[in-house]
Amino acid sequence: MTVDYDNSFPCLGITSFFFWFRLITIFLVAVFDFTGIKAVPAVGLIFAILYNALILIFKRQIAEKLRAHPIMILADLLVGFLLLASSGGFKSPYFLYCFSPLILGSFIFGYRGAFLLAGMQVFLYSAAVKMNGYRLLFIDKTVDSVITDCFFFVLVSTSVAYLADLMHKLEFANKGKAIAESSLEESKRRLESSLKLTNLSERETQVIMLTTDGKTADRVAQELGISISTVQTYLSRAYRKLGVLSKQEAILKAIDNIDKEQRYT
């Protein structure tokens, strides 16, 4: 099993929620046992509490190690299997807990991890049911329950993988936007520096820079506190001094001046 995203890591806040989810499911098991709804072996419950408490305490380190060594998630699947097998199979109160490694693994490792982990969970879950004396081929109600449970293993893991994929794409888009905005700001600074090397006045340069932001003559006039006709006058003067006929030609002329300056420096 390989990690789908080598250079990124899922949002720590989301993974923290997944770590807390597993502890909450163990708390529910403890409540069931304490109230007599469903008794479970004390040794298994104590082990589960201590095991998950340690995982929660060291969640950041464990998440990083999981990313570097995906095989570690199998140990968590095995723990879930042992808890299920020791407390009733498909009737076990640890059923919700078994989604913990699926959810976390699917979020970190994506679709490939989701399908692989779901397949392993289905196998281990079926084995835990059989170890508790249920013969899947001969008990209709058991078959229906197990099939439904296995379906949910696959559904939940793939849904979480889909969520992870969306979050990574969103993160990638945000990074791309930030890079584009940074490049645009740098280009505008270079353009403004180039225009200052010409014989344009400060106001003419200012008007051209504002129009390169996509602002209309009306908007430029409002920002500078002048009339629209004055804005158009400044633009006409600037175009004439630069020997161009439009804003696009003015920008190209400024870029050409930058290139010439770089060649001579």
- Give the residue-averaged pLDDT of 19-36: 86
Does residue 38 sit in the same domain as residue 168? yes
Same domain, 64 and 151: yes
Q: Determine, yes or no, domain membership for 151.
A: yes
Task: Select the more confidently predicted residue: 232 or 6.
Answer: 232
Which structural domain range is residue 236 located in?
A: 197-263
Domain membership flag for residue 207: yes
pTM, to two decimals: 0.60
74, 202: one domain: no
Say if residue 93's pLDDT is above 70. Answer: yes
pLDDT > 80? residue 195: no
- Tell whether 211 and 90 lie within a shared domain: no
From 138, 155, 172, the end of a domain falls on 172
In a domain, 54, yes or no: yes
Task: Judge whether 133 lies within some domain.
Answer: yes
Total domains, the chain: 2
Say which range, 19-28, 49-58, 71-80, 239-248, has the weakest mean pLDDT.
239-248
Q: Which CATH number goes with the domain that contains 201?
A: 1.10.10.10
Q: With respect to residue 93, please indicate whether it lies within any of the assigned structural domains.
A: yes
> Are 61 and 141 in a shared domain?
yes
Q: If DSSP states are collapsed to H, E and C, what string results for the chain? A: CCCCCCCCCCCHHHHHHHHHHHHHHHHHHHHHHHHCCCCCCHHHHHHHHHHHHHHHHCHHHHHHHHHHCHHHHHHHHHHHHHHHHCCCHHHCCCCHHHHHHHHHHHHHHHHHHHHHHHHHHHHHHHHHHHHCCCCCCCCHHHHHHHHHHHHHHHHHHHHHHHHHHHHHHHHHHHHHHHHHHHHHHHHHHHHHHHHHCCCCCHHHHHHHHHHHCCCCHHHHHHHHCCCHHHHHHHHHHHHHHHCCCCHHHHHHHHHHHHHHHHHCC
pLDDT value at position 155? Answer: 92
With respect to residue 252, please indicate whether it lies within any of the assigned structural domains.
yes
34 lies in the same domain as 131: yes
